[in-house]
Amino acid sequence: GIIKDIATRFQCSFALIDKIFTKMAKAIQKIYNDPNCPFNYPKTFISNRNTEYIDKYKNLLLSHNIKI
């Protein structure tokens, strides 16, 4: 997966062997919680049109006051 800050164009990526939601959520949290990564949790989360996981991510995003 790739996380990209659209304002600065800075990118972080993470490799996954499978598409299990919990592994994806942990990888995303690891990036945002890394003190060496310049990302802060965003105010708005923009995803591609694949809605496969958005319902599962909704709780994670809302717990950080992120607008979807």
In 10 A of CB 7, how many CB atoms? 7
Compute φ and ψ for 4, nearest 5 degrees. -130, 130
Question: Domains of the chain: which residue ranges?
Answer: 2-63
Q: How far apart are CA 24 and CA 44, in angstroms?
A: 18
- What three-state secondary structure class fits 13? strand
Torsion sign (Cα): 44, 50, 48, 14: positive
At residue 33, the pLDDT reads 83
| Neighbouring C-beta atoms of residue 58, cutoff 10 Å | 13
pLDDT above 70 for 53: no
pTM for this model (two decimals): 0.54
pLDDT digits (tens, 9 = 90+) for 17-46: 777 777 777 877 888 888 887 777 777 777
